[in-house]
Amino acid sequence: MASELGEQLRSVRSALGLSLKAVAEPAEISTTYLQKLEGGEVRNPSPNILHRLAATLNVPYAELMRLAGYVVPDGGSGAASPFEHALASSDLSDDERRAVAAFISHLRDQRSSERG
């Protein structure tokens, strides 16, 4: 489980083009701890840390909890949308994840310029 969580954290961070520090600081953890999480070295990360990481990386908290080995109820507000599930899919390469993140960033920039 720890390795799945670590792979997901690293994959999302990489897709967003964020450094360890850019994720660790807002999540209020050290870069060393994040590196250990991503490497699968942390067996039982606290739900509080997972919650902050979910908010920082904009990923479903319930998914991080599940990957960390916690029991997560089915359904409810923590369930991932089909879009979130597709983005979290493990069959995307790192290059594909980066391309999706860049495209989403482009769409957001375009929307911002249309508003302003």
pLDDT digits (tens, 9 = 90+) for 33-67: 999 999 999 988 999 999 999 999 999 988 899 89
**Contact predicate 72/66, CB 8 Å:** yes
pLDDT exceeds 60 at position 89: no
- The mean pLDDT value for 16-20 works out to 92
Give the HSE-up count for residue 104: Cα atoms under 13 Å, Cβ half-sphere.
Answer: 13
- pLDDT of residue 77 exceeding 70: no
* Interacting residues of 75 by C-beta distance below 8 A, sequence separation 6+: none
**What residues contact residue 64 under an 8 Å CB cut-off, 6+ apart?**
5, 8, 9, 50, 53, 54
Give me the residue spans of the domains in the chain. Answer: 2-115
Handedness of CA 59, 60, 62, 66 (dihedral sign): negative
- For 6, list phi and psi in degrees, rounded to 5: -60, -45
* Averaged pLDDT for residues 98-116: 77
- % residues pLDDT > 70 (the chain): 81
Instruction: Classify domain 2-115 by CATH number.
Output: 1.10.260.40
In whole angstroms, what is the distance from residue 46 CA to residue 3 CA?
Answer: 16
